[in-house]
Amino acid sequence: GAVVSQHPSRVICKSGTSVKIECRSLDFQATTMFWYRQFPKQSLMLMATSNEGSKATYEQGVEKDKFLINHASLTLSTLTVTSAHPEDSSFYICSAPRTGYNEQFFGPGTRLTVL
């Protein structure tokens, strides 16, 4: 099956610093990837849609200047949390659709803790 990886799996950072999270499709190309955020005991909430070769589309209420998305290639999207604060602590998950499949393939998630 299709594999999507994320790096790092866990990160702890100080308040005010920036953190970059990578999402890679390992065995297929993805022109679109999705970034979700999940708080404890809650569901996945879509943050933004990452598009290769164009700007990301952000959901209402998600600050584009705070959550920078770069879809650098057909297999890599990065989410940078800039000037992170404790309230940004969450589980960040990416997903990618794949040609010929209706389901989306999810990465294993990145646990961000901001101290």
Partner 1 sequence: GESVGLHLPTLSVQEGDNSIINCAYSNSASDYFIWYKQESGKGPQFIIDIRSNMDKRQGQRVTVLLNKTVKHLSLQIAATQPGDSAVYFCAENIHGYGQNFVFGPGTRLSVLP
Please identify, using beta-carbon distances, which residue of 23 and 114 lies nearer to partner 1. 23
Told to check if 11 binds partner 1 by CB under 8 A, we report no
SS (H, E, C) the chain: CCCEEEECCEEEECCCCCEEEEEEECCCCCCEEEEEEECCCCCCEEEEEEECCCCCEECCCCCCCCEEEEEEECCEEEEEECCCCHHHCEEEEEEEECCCCCCEEECCCEEEEEC
| Window 53-82: residues binding partner 1 (CB under 8 A) | none
Task: Choose which of 15, 29, 85, 101 interacts with partner 1 (CB under 8 A).
Answer: 101
How far is C-alpha 77 from the chain's CA centre?
7
| Window 34-53: residues binding partner 1 (CB under 8 A) | 34, 36, 41-46, 49
Told to check if 28 binds partner 1 by CB under 8 A, we report no
Q: Which of the stretches 13-21, 68-76, 78-86, 106-114 binds partner 1 when contact is defined by CB under 8 A?
A: 106-114
Task: Choose which of 56, 77, 78, 97 interacts with partner 1 (CB under 8 A).
Answer: 97
d(CA 66, CA 83) in angstroms, rounded, equals 7
Query: Locate tokens 């390992």: which residue?
Result: 26
Binding footprint of partner 1 on the chain (CB under 8 A): 4, 6, 32, 34, 36, 41-46, 49, 91, 93, 95, 97, 99, 101-109, 111
